[in-house]
Amino acid sequence: MILVKPSFEIMEIMSGLSDYGPLFLIENAGRTCYKSESEQTVESTRKFIQKILKSGHESVIEHSAMTVRIICDRGVTHEIVRHRLCAFSQESTRYCNYKGGVTFVIPPWVHISEIVLRPEYSGIRPGTSLTDAYNEWYCAMKDAEVRYLDLLKRNWSPQQARSVLPNSTKTEIVVTANFREWRHIFKLRCSKAAHPQMQEIMVPLRDKCKELVPVIFDDV
């Protein structure tokens, strides 16, 4: 059994054929509306995009997009895929065989370090002290893995055996969306009303986007 924390990797930020990055592309596309392309300079981008965002003309920022690989549990991806203006490619429990051991994502309210255990190991590591609640979660994951591996040994296919795997099962999902949709995602999924596991991924991702693509995400 493998226990991991969620994580993300920004794989690509669309910038067109320009060397100036996505903001230059967005400004150039936006200026088409006013036929003011000749007024674009290296210094004009921030002010132009701030102006269009303030006016609510957010369709202009759809001209650039970002692709992110997210490692999380399947409960989180059930929420992510509800954002329909995205492209998704997700690890499939139908076709992936976890005979070498199942990976589970540690929820933020379960304080256990990331560990790797042999599939045949049935107990908690010596010297590991867990509260009763943490132990319940840990044992539930271990039991699910044991049941899953046993069903594979009984000649069930991965798509059949997966029926005993819980929401905490680790998955990877690649998400591509334009900047306007990412703003929408961050506004919903970084709020205090969002699920804690969703916040655990989306808040640091939003903060990284503010660093990499200023102006677009500054007000989110």
Three-state secondary structure call for residue 11? strand
Residue-wise pLDDT tens digits, 57-88: 999 999 999 999 999 999 999 999 999 999 99
Q: Which positions ≥6 away from 189 have C-beta within 8 Å?
A: 79, 198, 199, 201, 202
The average pLDDT across 137-166 equals 97
- Nearest by Cα to 181 from 88, 85, 89, 87: 85
Q: Is 92 helix (H, G, I), strand (E, B) or coil?
A: coil
Residue extents of the structural domains in the chain:
15-64+178-212, 71-79+87-170
Per-residue pLDDT tens digits for 10-46:
999 999 877 789 999 999 999 999 999 899 988 899 9
What pLDDT sits at residue 154?
98
